[in-house]
Amino acid sequence: MQGHDVPAPHYDRVAAILHWLIGVALLGQITFGFLLDDIAPRGTVSRAPVINLHKSFGIVLGVLIVLRLAWRLAHRPPALPSFMPLWQRVAARWSHRALYGCMIVMPLSGYIASNFSKYGVVFFGFSLKPWGVESKPIYAVFNGVHVVTAWIFTALIVVHVLGALRHLLVERDGVFRRMWPWGGTRQPPAREPLRATKTEPARSRETA
């Protein structure tokens, strides 16, 4: 398929900017999490500062995710283009829901787990007192959810990126540009109706 005559409706600029900002930040944060043991092995003096940096970035990401969710609830996203096959639209809808679910569960489970450990959260040098009791079993449950969600999230992101690249490079149908902040097809402004111009009535010729 080499493009479509019907343009795909575009996301608003704020939603698009939040999408790319959070997407890049999430990729960095997930990679950071997977490499924690390599960057700062357990039992080393660098472990605590690196873990606290990971937690600090996670809190910032959590705030951005809440902003994105609030914006999405207040601004209805454009419908998927009608030229997409039904199975693709259904798959896109459910994959987006799964992505949003992971976006909520991953940082939230990490934050809850931290509050059931003796270390709590140190947000960029500021110590936040844990609101939970120290409990290794509870910590293990939420930390496990945090890690498993990160792996599921990674798989969903890979599928999402491959699908986006397929629309951009193979289909070339404008679906990728729906989420591009500075381009794509936006709803054109309504034109003002043309005003009727007054014309002088034609004078009838008098005959002799």
Domain chopping of the chain, boundaries: 13-179
pLDDT of residue 196: 47
Q: What is the mean pLDDT of residues 2-26?
A: 81
B/e letters for 74-98, b = 16+ CB within 10 Å, e = fewer, are eeeebebbeebeeebeeeeeeeeeb
Confidence of residue 180 (pLDDT cuts 50, 70, 90): confident
Confidence of residue 107 (pLDDT cuts 50, 70, 90): very high
Reply yes or no on whether the pLDDT at 3 is more than 60. no
Query: How far, in Å, CA of 114 to CA of 19, rounded?
Result: 27
CATH topology of domain 13-179: Fumarate Reductase Cytochrome B subunit (1.20.950)
Q: pLDDT tens digits for 139-152?
A: 999 999 999 999 99
